[in-house]
Amino acid sequence: MKYSRQQRQAIETAVDRILSSGVFGQRSRLRELLGYIVGEELEGRGDRLKAYAIGIDVFARPVDFNPNNDSIVRVEMARLRQALDVYYAGAGSDNPIRIGFSRGSYRPHFDTAPGTPAAAPPPMLSRLQATPSLPGGWLGFYLLGAAIAVVILAGLWLLTNRQSSGTPDEAQQASDRIPVVVKQFHGTPGDEHSVYVAEIVSDQIVSALARSKSLSVFNGTADSAAAGHQAAGAPDALIKYLVTGNLQVEPDWSRVTVELSNADTGNIVWAQTYRRGGRFITVQDELVRTIAAELRPQIYNAAKRAIAQKDPETASAWQLYLQATWSPGETVNSLAWQKEQLALARRALELDPDLGQAHAVLAEKLSYLANLDPASDTEAARNEADYHARRALELASDDADTVFNVAVHFKHEGKIAEAAQAVQRTYDLDPNHVLARLLVRFKNQICTTPTASAVRAAIVYDANLSPDNPVRWVTLYWLARLELNRGALEDALLYARRSLQIFASPAVSLQVAAILNQLGRTAEAIALVDTQRVNWPTLDLRHYASRVIHGECDGRPRTPLVRKIYDDLADAYENRKVPNAAQ
């Protein structure tokens, strides 16, 4: 459709008024989205306004972008419609031209407000209404119809053949992901606004989860995707997990309940209720990020438990990788278990030498063991870890989980600058990655004395997590580290003890022991180390202080107090009184 100069000017003025109204706030993506869609329509390219083109042109998705797996376009279009509704109900109520979208379409339509003289129809309209003329009269129409029929039949054959056979790469990709359906969330019955917002929230969660390369995420209506049914858009992937939710929105508070269930058994795998104060629109984005960040590890862990029930000899390389990777809440604290995970990663690479995810896990495991097991701290092991980290980034630099495991490897190696860069890259790939969201805030605070505002930010982040979130052992451990860098031993001990209650990892146990010893409670510190050495019999405090604490900041020393308390703990443990076995 062509637009006259007068029509274009009127529409562009309408867009300018919307953008200057502030209805989009700081949401630059909505501003860019509206400008792009209107611009394409005015330039005669409205037929290109499909989810794929918008995802690539506006949201910088890669060329293999699949709108069925990543609903970013649906989510942002729903938010755009919502923002326009708010605008025309208020500041834009007197606009002579209104921009809208038909349901299910991304092409804009431009309507005149009541009482506004209608603009002349574009000249293209009469051209479309004219009777077509073809050479050859009725013979021409016959030949044209025959040609169209041939094209349609050929297209149907190709489509059917493609759907039934599929390429090996597509089949492999389907088997290397966890199929999840997010059903449309329920709003409050009878409340149209609540129902509408619930639909947007469920779409946002789909988009957030789809960032993971280990998940195949699909939209489902509130009554679709029953257990055992196949996911729409994924004929080769049987649904394994369902996400459902209920949303209640009140003027000054809101509540979202989310459930993850096993599609085969109907059992509830995980459930959580989130309550926020204030207007929902002001907390919506933070709430969705928190839900997605907490939901994804639960899906991973459920899949890992299911895979663990199978014969490991029949597991695929990807399944072995998933079993080997660290996930909050599914970790066993022992040297033997870590070596088992290392063996799983090696087996995965035997089956698929180009599986970048497995390379990243292997790099992380090798460097972790080098820190805690002196026998594993060899030059050959460190070189091997570095090789696998490089290989992982060569093969899967667009996978947030891969890049994060490489970041953890760098952290274990004491390469804090490289770790910070990899954490930032993880966050760029997936802003909902639960640990990247934390570490990206404090990546520059490890080797320095943090500001009070940085500590407050960490406290707020931890408070926004669900109380039973297993990730909190990491957030509380990092809070203790920040307080240690400030020299606040009592505050550090408070957070470290809370972390220890969730998961008594070697790092947390030694952190608590070092603080206790510094506070004169040496007997408690030694008892805690002895308990840890039951699971880590080769744990050497002198090696840990030298390898981890002194070498953690690219060769730069950490704050003197931190170095001192770990050295003092090593001294105290070496000089402890060991009971005489003969007595």
User: Residue 106's closest CA among 53, 44, 65?
Assistant: 53
If pLDDT is split at 50, 70 and 90, which confidence band does 122 have? very low
Q: Which residues contact 169 (CB under 8 A, 6 or more apart)?
A: none
Q: What's the sign of the alpha-carbon dihedral 331, 332, 337, 339?
A: positive
* Of 57-61, 257-261, 568-572, the least confident: 57-61
From the candidate CATH numbers 3.40.50.300, 1.25.40.10, 2.160.20.10, 3.30.1220.10, the one assigned to the domain spanning 310-444: 1.25.40.10
d(CA 380, CA 385): 9
DSSP state for residue 376 in the 8-state scheme? G
Q: What percent of the chain has pLDDT over 90?
A: 42
Question: Is the pLDDT at 236 greater than 80, yes or no?
Answer: no
Q: At what angle do helices 560-574 and 506-518 cross, to 10 degrees?
A: 90
How many other CB atoms are there within 10 angstroms of residue 379's CB atom?
7
Instruction: For 286-296, write each residue's pLDDT tens digit.
Output: 899 999 999 99
- Quote the distance between the C-alpha of residue 251 and its chain's center: 29
Instruction: For 3-37, write each residue's pLDDT tens digit.
Output: 888 888 888 888 888 888 777 765 567 888 888 99
Q: Taking all residues of the chain, what is their mean pLDDT, rounded to a whole number?
A: 82
The CB-based long-range contact list for 522-528 (8 Å cut-off, 24+ gap) reads: 522/572, 525/569, 525/572, 525/573, 526/572, 526/573, 526/576
Q: What are phi and psi of 312, to 5 degrees?
A: -60, -20
Q: Quick one: pLDDT at residue 158?
A: 40
User: Residue 219's closest CA among 361, 51, 339?
Assistant: 51
Structurally, at CATH architecture level, domain 172-306 sits in 3-Layer(aba) Sandwich (3.40)
Q: Which residues contact 69 (CB under 8 A, 6 or more apart)?
A: 210, 216, 217, 218, 233
Report yes or no on whether pTM surpasses 0.85: no
Cβ–Cβ < 8 Å for 248, 165: no
User: pLDDT higher for 223 or 329?
Assistant: 329
Q: Which of 48-52, 75-79, 174-178, 299-303 has the largest mean confidence?
A: 299-303
User: Residue 217's closest CA among 257, 177, 186?
Assistant: 177
Consecutive H or E run containing 341? helix 335-351
CATH topology agreement for domains 172-306 and 445-583: no
Find residue 181's DSSP bridge partners: 218, 242
User: pLDDT higher for 172 or 347?
Assistant: 347
The answer to whether domain 445-583 has CATH 1.25.40 is: yes
Summarize the confidence of residues 100-122 as an average pLDDT. Answer: 69
- Quote the distance between the C-alpha of residue 147 and its chain's center: 48
- Quote the distance between the C-alpha of residue 248 and its chain's center: 25
Percent helix, strand and coil across the chain, each to the nearest 5: 60, 10, 30
* Of 23-27, 394-398, 531-535, the least confident: 23-27
Cβ–Cβ < 8 Å for 14, 95: yes
Q: Quick one: pLDDT at residue 288?
A: 92
Q: Quick one: pLDDT at residue 167?
A: 40
Q: Quick one: pLDDT at residue 320?
A: 92
Summarize the confidence of residues 87-97 as an average pLDDT. Answer: 80
User: In this structure, which amino acid lies at residue 476?
Assistant: L
Question: Is the pLDDT at 555 greater than 70, yes or no?
Answer: no
Summarize the confidence of residues 450-475 as an average pLDDT. Answer: 86
* Of 105-114, 255-264, 500-509, the least confident: 105-114
Where are the domains positioned within the chain? 5-129, 172-306, 310-444, 445-583
Residue positions counted in the chain: 583
Find residue 253's DSSP bridge partners: 277
